[in-house]
Amino acid sequence: MVDGWSIATNNSWHKGGRVWILWNPTIFILDFYEFFAQCINMKVTEVASTTQFFVSMVYAFNDLVDRRSLWNQLINFASVINGPWMAAGDFNCVLSHIERLGGTSTDAEIDEFQSCLDACGLVDSPAQGAYYTWNNKQDASTRVFSRLDRLLINSEWSQKVSSMYAHFLPEGTFDHTPCIIKSSDQSDNLKSTKMFQVVRKLKSLKVHLRQFNKDHFADIENAAALALRNLEAIQTKLIDDPSNQQMLTMETQAAEE
């Protein structure tokens, strides 16, 4: 873990911990409301501006019945908070049949998820990148795609943090796509943060690091980087054409290299 950063998990509520939160306390103050097996609810305060908002980080169970406790916990949290709120993570459920390609979803699980969101006043945030956020990594004939990961926001978030959106990246060697929350004015916000200062210092080392890499690890790392770029290029094309059998076969081969 990065020196000076803090960490919280739900280890005590589920063996091994399903949700891990890492943050820089010089930038954000986190006040934890509740820990559960499938989510962590908290209030976040930005140190510089004292802006406050609520966050629920989610990793839902696979089983429909087991997820019901999560839906109730989110509804209960919605009833006791007042302000901008986002719920993000792997909900392990789709909101419509078109959000799954190559598999099946029941009306019951879709209806229960949608009922929870209606009760909470949550909707999908603006998003870019991959539409399907998970796939089973199998070959072309048995590949399944699903939109399981999402960033959900309430009306107060839309009104007060309107510049934020979710960017879902190609999944690389994982089965889920990483999600980055971005802002249309992100570059201006970053200039005053410690993280921006770290990035700037790293960039100043780029020339020396490149030479070190060339002298010691060029062949191994270049080959790995080339393979990853090839994999991500194929996965980016699959975003627009996820049922393309030829591209799926190429993606499987590239992942094995």
Q: Is the pLDDT of residue 86 over 90?
A: yes
82 band by pLDDT with thresholds 50, 70 and 90 = very high
Q: Which helix (H) or strand (E) holds 158?
A: helix 155-160
Closest to 167 (Cα-Cα) out of 133, 121, 123, 122: 133
Architecture field, domain 6-185: 4-Layer Sandwich (3.60)
Q: Is the pLDDT of residue 248 over 90?
A: no
Report pLDDT digits (tens) over 53-68: 999 999 999 999 999 9
Which residue in the block uniquely carries the two structure tokens 């169970």? Answer: 61
pLDDT at 196: 41
Closest to 7 (Cα-Cα) out of 30, 41, 38: 30
* 180 DSSP β-pair partners: 167
Report pLDDT digits (tens) over 180-193: 998 875 444 434 34
Which residue in the block uniquely carries the two structure tokens 């992100």? Answer: 186
Q: Is the pLDDT of residue 1 over 90?
A: no
pTM of the model: 0.74
pLDDT at 88: 97
Fill in the amino acid letter for 208.
H
Angle at which helices 206-216 and 194-204 cross, to 10°: 50
199 band by pLDDT with thresholds 50, 70 and 90 = very low
> Mapping DSSP to helix (H, G, I), strand (E, B) and coil, where does residue 163 land?
coil
75 band by pLDDT with thresholds 50, 70 and 90 = very high
Calculate the average pLDDT of the chain: 85
pLDDT at 111: 96
- Work out whether the CA dihedral 235, 237, 242, 245 comes out positive or negative: negative
Report pLDDT digits (tens) over 113-134: 999 999 999 999 999 999 999 9
12 band by pLDDT with thresholds 50, 70 and 90 = very high
By 3-state DSSP, what share of the chain in percent is helix, strand and coil, each rounded to 5?
A: 40, 25, 35
Strands (E), 106-255: 123-124, 127-129, 134-135, 145-146, 149-153, 164-168, 179-183
pLDDT at 9: 95
Sort 234 into a burial class: Cβ within 10 Å, 0-12 / 13-18 / 19+: buried
